[in-house]
């Protein structure tokens, strides 16, 4: 399964990388709205929100595998 590089930009408006967004999700944000409240990702043009939600889903399902 291919994973995007951690340093790849997810939110271009706020210049936030996937690693930064993953950190916010791992700290407890469960969806794009919560991520936006914490770091602002998705609060600009909104085009990255789908990707942010997808990361929430992926990280939530990998966390439940632990």
Q: Which is nearer to ligand FES, 27 or 45 (CB)?
A: 45
Q: Which is nearer to ligand FES, 12 or 63 (CB)?
A: 12
How many residues sit in the footprint of ligand FES (CB under 6 A)? 12
Strands (E), the chain: 9-11, 16-17
**Segment 11 to 50, residues that bind ligand FES, using CB under 6 A:** 11-14, 41-48
- Residue 28 has which token pair? 């407890």
Other beta carbons within 10 Å of 41: 28
Contact 59, 28 (CB under 8 A): no
Q: Contact positions toward ligand FES, by CB under 6 A? A: 11-14, 41-48
């Amino acid at each position: 399964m291919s994973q995007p590089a951690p340093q790849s930009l997810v939110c271009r408006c706020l210049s936030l990388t996937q690693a930064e967004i993953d950190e916010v999700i791992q700290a407890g944000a469960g969806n794009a709205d919560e991520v936006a409240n914490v770091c602002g990702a998705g609060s600009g043009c909104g085009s990255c929100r789908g990707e942010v939600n997808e990361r929430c889903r992926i990280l939530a399902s990998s966390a439940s595998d632990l």
